[in-house]
């Protein structure tokens, strides 16, 4: 039995807390079953966004004719692109591994960890199988994995998750995607730009259902122009024959009479199937009962406002707590846990103004409340939309998109939602105003914005007349 001061399961954002412990002279153990660096570095946001940038470059070239520039693409080394990105990711992961192995303040245990007693973990597989570690403080940061829905025949076909899709060295002829969220949107853009026919099947009425409804509707329309999109459909069966995968999907309704409807439906063949139907927490792999950590009805670790679990001395952060499945949220939680563990007192995690971005084409980003949430809550609010092409820069770019600002009747910013070029960057001004400024439209209205730049979309979106969401009156 090895005893340490601090133990973390997972090597993503949890490493930040482990390093903080080590810097304070504590003995630290890290248990990791996969490549070092966590999901974001190895199977998520880093390789996907690096690959997506290649798609963005190609899309820019293909749009050159809009600007009276005659160019052609003579070739695309797709396999080289994928290999280079994955090699770089592997190199970064290996650097983290080497750093931990060479550290006198960290002990790295490679393999799957499971609890066997209070704050006691055994490595049950991998290079360090059989090792047991007990710690005064344990941090669970073991993340999530792709969720595979219960589709008839799914276990009998060779399907992809995002992990495998990011390693394909040739674009499929016809990629069928089950799921309509972030991953579906981004990988649809990536493979579609490089020549794949793409069909997306999603249960919700719109793609990107977590976005504001007006944004989601507009995005779905754009994607329906690019790809074959079957929203409001649930995949019910899948089969494979001679290299062709066929997906059967039936209409799906939400509400009081929710569920699959047997009438109608679509049949979609393709040579690759990508299941992008969300993610599930890795809590079922950890034997949490052995240490008294409880989970919620979705399987995520149950924590208080400080990210303490139901077990003494055990904390959790990142995707496995299910608050926001975003890397920047996990980094934010890591800072909070470090403060609470090593600071003078406890401070709740502040999720105010937690933004998201979807690196599709068009880009989508948002922060704060969605209009439909405010409407359902009966809260008074006002909105204003502003088109990209009404700014000088947006017009020069032939930019298709808009910003939607949502405020209360006193001018407090309640939310902002953007679809269009550089949305992931433009949303940051609103985040800063909500988080670090007064939180009102004055933060944006009174700031000097460069002209002509896309930031004027934000400036003008928060200036001028707003319309009351409940009655249509001006504000």
> DSSP string spanning 10-56?
-SSTHHHHHHHHHHTT--EEEEESSSTTHHHHHHSHHHHHHHHHHHH
Distance from chain centroid for Cα 302:
21
Q: What digits encode the pLDDT tens for the residues 187-214? A: 999 999 999 999 999 999 999 999 999 9
Catalytic: which of 174, 233, 328, 451? 451
pLDDT at position 221, please?
98
The total number of residues written for the chain in this structure = 475
Asked, colleague to colleague, whether 154-277 and 356-467 share their fold, the answer is: no
Tokens of 164: 């495998």
Tokens of 67: 């600007």
Please, which residues bridge with residue 275 across strands? 178
pLDDT at position 79, please?
98
Fold exhibited by the domain 2-146+280-342: FAD/NAD(P)-binding domain (3.50.50)
Please, which residues bridge with residue 407 across strands? 382, 413
pLDDT at position 474, please?
44
d(CA 296, CA 321): 9
pLDDT at position 256, please?
80
pLDDT at position 192, please?
98
Please, which residues bridge with residue 286 across strands? none
Distance from chain centroid for Cα 264:
33
Low pLDDT (below 50) residues in the chain: 471-475
d(CA 129, CA 146): 25
Contact in structure between 404 and 72 (CB atoms under 8 Å): no
- Kind and range of the H or E element at 393? helix 392-396
What pTM did the predictor assign? 0.95
Tokens of 174: 């016809």
Tokens of 231: 């929203």
Cβ partners under 8 Å of residue 370, min gap 6:
211, 212, 213, 406, 415, 417
pLDDT at position 43, please?
86
d(CA 151, CA 443): 49
Helices (H), 103-249: 162-165, 182-193, 213-226
What is the C-alpha radius of gyration for the chain, rounded to an integer number of angstroms? 24
* Torsion sign (Cα): 368, 440, 327, 186: positive
pLDDT at position 417, please?
98
d(CA 34, CA 134): 21
d(CA 319, CA 283): 11
Sheet of 197-202, strand order: 228-231, 197-202, 174-178, 272-275
Going from N- to C-terminal start, the domains of the chain cover 2-146+280-342, 154-277, 356-467
Peptide bond into 452 cis (omega under 30): yes
451 is catalytic: yes
Q: What digits encode the pLDDT tens for the residues 134-147? A: 999 999 999 999 99
d(CA 91, CA 43): 14
Nearest alpha carbon to residue 72 among 80, 81, 62: 62
Instruction: Return the CATH class of domain 154-277.
Output: alpha beta
Tokens of 184: 């579906």
pLDDT at position 411, please?
97
CATH code, residues 356-467: 3.30.390.30
pLDDT at position 471, please?
44
pLDDT at position 257, please?
82
Distance from chain centroid for Cα 410:
32
Peptide bond into 362 cis (omega under 30): yes
- Kind and range of the H or E element at 81? helix 78-102
Contact in structure between 231 and 183 (CB atoms under 8 Å): no
Q: What's the Cα-to-Cα distance from 411 to each of 5, 183, 340, 383, 417, rounded to whole Å?
A: 48, 34, 34, 11, 17
């Amino acid at each position: 039995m090895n005893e340490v001061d601090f133990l973390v399961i997972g090597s993503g954002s949890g490493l930040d807390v482990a390093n903080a412990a080590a810097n304070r002279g504590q003995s630290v153990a890290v248990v990791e079953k996969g490549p070092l660096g966590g999901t974001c570095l190895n199977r998520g946001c880093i390789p996907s966004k690096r690959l997506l940038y290649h798609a963005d470059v190609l899309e820019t070239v293909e749009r050159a004719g809009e600007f009276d520039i005659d160019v052609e693409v003579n070739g695309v080394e797709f396999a080289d692109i994928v290999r280079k990105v994955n090699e770089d990711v592997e190199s970064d992961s290996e650097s983290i591994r080497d750093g931990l192995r060479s550290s006198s303040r960290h002990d790295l245990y490679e393999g799957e960890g499971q609890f066997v007693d209070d704050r006691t973990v055994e490595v049950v597989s991998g290079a360090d199988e059989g090792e047991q570690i007990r710690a005064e403080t344990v941090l669970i940061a073991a993340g999530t994995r792709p969720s595979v829905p219960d589709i008839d025949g799914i276990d009998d076909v060779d399907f992809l998750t995002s992990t495998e899709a990011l390693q394909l060295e040739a674009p499929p002829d016809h990629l069928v995607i089950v799921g309509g969220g972030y991953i579906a949107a981004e990988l649809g853009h990536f493979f579609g730009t490089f020549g794949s026919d793409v069909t997306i099947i999603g249960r919700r009425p719109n793609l990107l259902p977590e976005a504001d409804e007006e944004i989601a509707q507009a995005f779905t329309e754009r994607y329906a122009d690019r790809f074959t999109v079957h929203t409001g459909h649930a995949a019910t069966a899948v089969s494979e024959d001679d290299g062709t995968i066929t997906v059967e999907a039936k209409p799906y309704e939400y509400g009081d009479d929710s569920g699959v409807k047997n009438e109608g439906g679509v049949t979609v063949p393709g040579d690759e199937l990508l299941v992008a139907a969300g993610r599930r927490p890795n809590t079922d792999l950890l034997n949490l009962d052995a240490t008294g950590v409880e989970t919620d009805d979705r399987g995520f670790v149950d924590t208080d406002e400080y990210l303490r679990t139901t077990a003494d001395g055990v904390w959790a952060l990142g995707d496995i707590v299910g608050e926001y499945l975003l890397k920047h949220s996990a980094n934010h939680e890591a800072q909070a846990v470090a403060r609470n563990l090593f600071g003078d007192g406890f401070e709740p995690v502040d999720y105010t103004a937690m933004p998201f971005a979807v690196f599709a084409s068009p880009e989508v980003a948002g922060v704060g409340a969605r209009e439909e949430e405010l409407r359902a809550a009966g809260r008074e609010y006002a909105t204003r939309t502003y088109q990209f092409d009404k700014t000088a820069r947006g017009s020069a770019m032939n930019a298709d998109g808009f910003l939607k600002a949502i405020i209360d009747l006193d001018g407090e910013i309640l939310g902002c939602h953007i679809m269009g070029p550089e949305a992931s960057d433009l949303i940051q001004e609103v985040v800063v105003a909500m988080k670090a400024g007064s939180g009102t439209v004055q933060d944006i209205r009174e700031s000097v914005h460069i002209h002509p730049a896309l930031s004027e979309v934000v400036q003008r979106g928060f200036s001028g007349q707003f319309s009351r969401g409940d009655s249509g009156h001006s504000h």
